[in-house]
Structure 1
Amino acid sequence: MTQEELLEQIYKKDGRAFTLLYDMYSKSLYGIIFNILKDKEESEDVLQEVFVKIWKNIDSYNTTKGRFFTWILNIARNSSIDKLRSKSHNNSLKNLSADNFVHILDHNSSVINKIDAIGIREFIQKLKPKCIRLIDLLFFKGYTQQEASEELEIPIGTVKTQNRSCIKELRTILQVQ
């Protein structure tokens, strides 16, 4: 089944198509979510929320505005950032024991391997160092543009401009492949 056929079935609210969609994208989205939240249970919860949002909002996806994977990736990223900023997440961080930090560090390396497995890091490594750092902050670590501006000690306008040019450069690299 092609992606177009799959989307057609999802628009019709076909449960089997949704299961196939979950099977196709859940691991990739989980890797992005976990990379932002650094917590297995919260990442699993957010992943479920993301697929509910996809199911409920599929009619808002517009093929002329971008690829489907980019659309669901943004839903996952934004949901993760929302969770990260929520009060419940911040309160749970206050109660973590040292054992949890060891688990997070151990699990984080496997998430990085999952990201490598889907090939994203390979393409990003072909970018200029400033792009690698910016994309790492914005997309893998879940920073806002304002937070990236503060971290990199550059104006927010520069972050926005560099982000656009870095994404454009990444698209060029991906189209060559």
Structure 2
Amino acid sequence: MQQDALIAELQNGNPRAFERIYQLYSESTYGIIYSIIKDEKIAEEVLQDVFLKIWDKAPTYNSDKGRFFTWVLNIARNASIDKIRSKGFKNSQQNLKADNFVNILEDKTSFAESVDSIGLKKYIDKLKPVCKKLIDYLFFRGYTQKETSEELDMPLGTVKTRNRMCIEQLRKIVIK
């Protein structure tokens, strides 16, 4: 089944189309969720929530506004950020055992590896270092623009402007 037809079937509430969409997108969607949350169990929970949202919101998807994959990743990214900002998640992170801190410090997952897990590395590698850093903080670590501004010691307005420019550059690279 062609992707456009598959998406149309999903929008019409076809459970088989939903199953196929899950098969096609769950692995890369999990990758983006995990790169933000850094907890397998919680990332799996968020993945399920994301696919429920995809099922519920499928009729609102409009191909004129962007690719389906981008729409799915935006839902995943937003759900992940909502989760890490939730009071329950923050409270669960406050009481970590000392062993967890060793794991965090020894985590070798780099920005390049998390980007490559969803197939974007070849595109992001073509960006300037400042764009790589901004995209890392804003999209893969789930920082707000204000938090990114503080972390990079850069004025908030500059972060916003550079973010728009970097995303536009990335869009041009991907479309080529």
- Residue 46 and residue 108 in structure 1: after superposition, are their counterparts in 2 closer, same or farther (change >3 A)? farther
* Partner residue, 2:93: 93
| Contact 2:35/2:114 (<8 A) preserved | no
Alignment of structure 1 residues 1-177 onto 2, 5 Å? 1-101=1-101, 109=109, 113=113, 115-176=115-176
Q: 1:43 offset after TM fit, Å? A: 0.4
Percent identity over the alignment?
A: 55
CA distance in 1, matches of 2:106, 2:25: 23
Q: Displacement of 1:156 after TM fit?
A: 1.8
Compare 100-109 and 128-137 and name the one that shifted more.
100-109
Which stretch of structure 1 is more off in the superposition, 98-107 or 143-152? Answer: 98-107
- What is the TM-score of this pair, normalised by structure 2? 0.90
CA distance in 1, matches of 2:23, 2:68: 15
Cα separation, 2, equivalents of 1:104 and 1:44: 19
Q: Summarize the Cα distance change of 1:123–1:5 in structure 2 as closer, same or farther, 3 Å threshold.
A: same
Q: Which runs of 5+ in 1 are unaligned?
A: none
Q: How many residues align?
A: 176
Q: 1:108 to 1:78 in 2, by over 3 A?
A: farther
Could you tell me which amino acid in structure 2 is paired with residue 45 of structure 1?
E
Q: CA RMSD in A?
A: 2.1
Q: Secondary structure at the match of 1:109?
A: coil
Whichever residue aligns with residue 152 of structure 2, its letter is L
Give distance in 1, aligned partners of 2:49 and 2:125.
31
Amino acid at match of 2:52: V
User: Retained in 2: the 8 A contact 1:30–1:43?
Assistant: yes
Q: So what's the TM-score if we normalise by structure 1?
A: 0.90
Unaligned runs of 5+ in 2: none
Distance apart, 1:140 and its partner CA? 0.7
Contact kept, 8 Å, 1:84 with 1:90, in 2: the verdict is: yes
